[in-house]
Amino acid sequence: MRNSTPPIKAPAGSVPAKAGTGLKFPHVDHILEARPHLGWFEVHAENFMIKGGRPREILHEVAATYPVSIHGVGLSLGSADGLDHTHLERLANLVTDIRPGLVSEHLAWCRSGATCFSDLLPLPYTAEALEVVSANVSRAQDRLGRQILVENPSLYVDFTISEMRETEFLNVLTERTGCGLLLDVNNIHVSGTNLGYDPAAYLRELDCGGVGEIHLAGHHVRQIENGTILIDDHGGHVAEPVWHLFEQALAKTGPVPVQIEWDNNVPTFDVLAGEVAKADSILDRCFNAEVRNVCAA
Amino acid sequence: MSALHEFQTSFGAYLTGDAAIEDCAGLSSDTVENAAIYQNNVRHAHSGALASTYPALRNLIGEDCFDAIADQFCEASPPASSVLSEYGEEFPAYLANCPELSGFPFLPEVARLEWAMNVALHSPLSPVTQASDLARLAEAESTDISDLLEPTTSLQLFMSEQPVQDILIAALANDAERISTIEHAPQRLAIFRRNEGVVVEPLTAAEFTFLTAIVLGQSFGKAADQAIAQEPAIAIENIIGRLLTLGVFAALPLTSKGLPS
């Protein structure tokens, strides 16, 4: 049963099924001057929420040339407290102002009481959590008047109290709320390694019909006493196993926009553009250009 | 309290160092040690936000010292919003009360200047009054402009007993030698948006007094009186001319003929 009327889909024609990357401040001057050939840019909503000011001006300038996706990290869809009204209103203001092709958030929480933790924190996959997240997603979509994509998280801890797998949680969430999915392939690999599940099985179990975007990123491999843990640090090149999993994911999702995330140790724009070109070459190999030029809905 | 609410409260307390991970029911013992990754992420995100806002201060006291003090501040005053460019307004006051920094009164002042620059950066860039606007008004023998002058939206006025701008410039350049030669002198500054950046302009005592009065909503006449009281020899038209050149007054509400609307 849905919690609310299915929202209107995001406006078509905005973000193509091509590779893009995050807009990083060290690259802004180059992007605005050289206008490099690139499919689209994604921005973290919270970096541009303040009305006025240079950051919002930059975003307007970029959005005038490139398709843009707004990716939130602070809405806290998993908060048992519900959504923060002020934050949702600021997000709505940004979305109305920029009119991005896609809007996305995370299957996570980052707020408890009056404290904001500024990290994407893990949720137990319980029926109660599903109710909470469904209600929060529906409220967000109702306020924004459009569909949002919800991203699968990278995880370092598991829960004894979880009642379902993440894939089942997401399948029910999309069915209940009409939200789409942002499939982070690196996160599947990271979480699968850390928690001991098979990423390929994850892809088989997930209903990928609602995937509206894919994320790729680098991770850090840390040796610990009992083995290895992967840290989703967005601080380097996409790892080979993730590229491989990406191709498997595309077979299920079809052509969708793909974003290279590189948020720490930000390289020169050329290095980032190289990763984007690699993702584009895989999209080229998997799908013909005519299909890919159809924009994501 | 629901089970989810209870978990988030206890895990949140763990993240801020107010509870042990053992207090968080529901975590698998196989992976519970990894919870420290989240704790580290939170600390890194918050101190990193302060480092972005206070780069000169970070250069002045060094990365390790900055991180240690930032961690203390973040633990005492965690952000209430995930818009982290708004986080850290109270950091300069925290530094002023920090025993480790008590012998360096210029450090909180540099931080205060960096916060003012941060506020200006996130303020709208709005049109400003040009000297030519006033010239057109004078030609039209219009009414005086006294009550039309208003500060531009991004303007921050800043006064310090420390040579804070000189220290900031040297710190951003990591120029320790230059810092050691800066002469102690108070500074009065105007901080505001210009084009794509933020500018910090030194003001004379009279300019600062005049502009402060305008910011406080006082009339042109009163502002001029206070500036002249500060520096009796000053010509008020010189103050206006300099401030117009800087671009610190919001555009006058003029008609297409250049007259007040």
pLDDT tens-digit series, residues A141-152 = 999 999 999 999
Q: Where are the domains of chain B?
A: 1-104, 124-261
In angstroms, the Cα distances linking B257 to A17, B136, B250, B260, B261 are 51, 9, 18, 9, 10
Q: Lowest mean pLDDT of A12-21, A80-89, A174-183, A240-249, name the range.
A: A12-21
- And the tokens for A278? 């690699």
Mean of the per-residue pLDDT values of chain B? 92
The highest-level CATH class for domain A15-288 is alpha beta
pLDDT at A295: 47
Q: Which residues of B touch A46 (CB under 8 A)?
A: 82-84
Question: What is the mean predicted confidence (pLDDT) over A198-219?
Answer: 97
Contact A158 B41 (CB under 8 A): no
Question: What is the mean predicted confidence (pLDDT) over A231-239?
Answer: 97
Question: What is the mean predicted confidence (pLDDT) over B36-40?
Answer: 96
Which of A57, A73, A117 has the CB atom closest to B12's CB atom? A117
pLDDT at A292: 56
Q: To probe the interface with B, which of A32, A49, A105, A112 has the most B CB atoms within 10 Å?
A: A112
Which of B5, B31, B124 has the CB atom closest to A157's CB atom? B31
Q: In this structure, are strands B187-194 and B197-202 parallel, antiparallel, or unpaired?
A: antiparallel
Among chain B residues, the shortest Cα distance to A109 is held by: B8
Q: Quick check: helix, strand or coil at residue A183? A: strand
Cβ-based neighbours of B182, under 8 Å, separated by 6 or more: B163, B166, B167, B170
Which of B15, B35, B37 has the CB atom closest to A117's CB atom? B15
pLDDT at B126: 87
- In the predicted model, is pLDDT for residue A5 greater than 50? no
Mean of the per-residue pLDDT values of chain A? 93
Neighbours of A281 (CB within 10 A): 11
Please give the Cα distance from A110 to B247 (Å, whole number): 42
Q: Lowest mean pLDDT of A90-104, B32-46, B242-256, name the range.
A: B242-256
A241 contacts chain B (CB < 8 A): no
Q: How far is B80 from chain A (nearest CA, A)?
A: 5
Contact A158 B8 (CB under 8 A): no
Question: What is the mean predicted confidence (pLDDT) over A151-175?
Answer: 98
Longest dimension (CA), chain A: 52
- And the tokens for B113? 């200047």
pLDDT at B195: 87
Phi, psi of B254 (to 5 degrees): -105, 155
Q: Quick check: helix, strand or coil at residue B145? A: coil
- And the tokens for B61? 């006291």
- In the predicted model, is pLDDT for residue A9 greater than 60? no
Contact A157 B34 (CB under 8 A): yes
CA dihedral A49, A54, A57, A58 (to 10 degrees): -100
pLDDT at A11: 46
Contact A160 B38 (CB under 8 A): no
8 A C-beta contact, residue B224 and residue B236:
yes
CA A145 to chain centre: 19
pLDDT tens-digit series, residues B77-128 = 999 999 999 999 999 999 999 999 999 999 999 999 999 999 999 999 988 8
Q: How far is A52 from chain B (nearest CA, A)?
A: 4
- In the predicted model, is pLDDT for residue B147 greater than 80? no
Q: To probe the interface with B, which of A24, A121, A133, A195 has the most B CB atoms within 10 Å?
A: A121
3-state SS, one letter per residue, for B153-190: CCCEEEEECCCHHHHHHHHHCCCHHHHHHCCCCCEEEE
Rg (CA), chain A: 18
Which residues of B, range 180-239, sit inside 8 Å of A by Cβ?
193, 196-197
What is the CB-side half-sphere exposure of residue B115 using CA atoms within 13 A?
Answer: 18
Please give the Cα distance from B88 to B66 (Å, whole number): 13
Among chain A residues, the shortest Cα distance to B49 is held by: A118
Q: Which residues of B touch A123 (CB under 8 A)?
A: 4
Contact A119 B45 (CB under 8 A): yes
Closest CA to B101 of B72, B137, B140: B72
- In the predicted model, is pLDDT for residue A195 greater than 90? yes
B116 contacts chain A (CB < 8 A): no
pLDDT tens-digit series, residues A21-40 = 999 999 999 999 999 999 99
Closest CA to B81 of A88, A97, A92: A88
Query: pLDDT tier at A260 (50, 70, 90 boundaries)?
Result: very high
DSSP code for A11: P
8 A C-beta contact, residue B131 and residue B241:
yes
Contact B122 A119 (CB under 8 A): no
pLDDT at B255: 63
8 A C-beta contact, residue A212 and residue A102:
yes
Question: What is the mean predicted confidence (pLDDT) over B147-171?
Answer: 93
pLDDT over 70 percentage in chain B: 93
Cβ-based neighbours of A46, under 8 Å, separated by 6 or more: A72, A73, A74, B82, B83, B84
Among chain A residues, the shortest Cα distance to B9 is held by: A112
8 A C-beta contact, residue B65 and residue B51:
no
Q: Which amino acid is at B90?
A: E
Residue ranges with strand state E in A87-129: 102-106, 109-112, 115-121
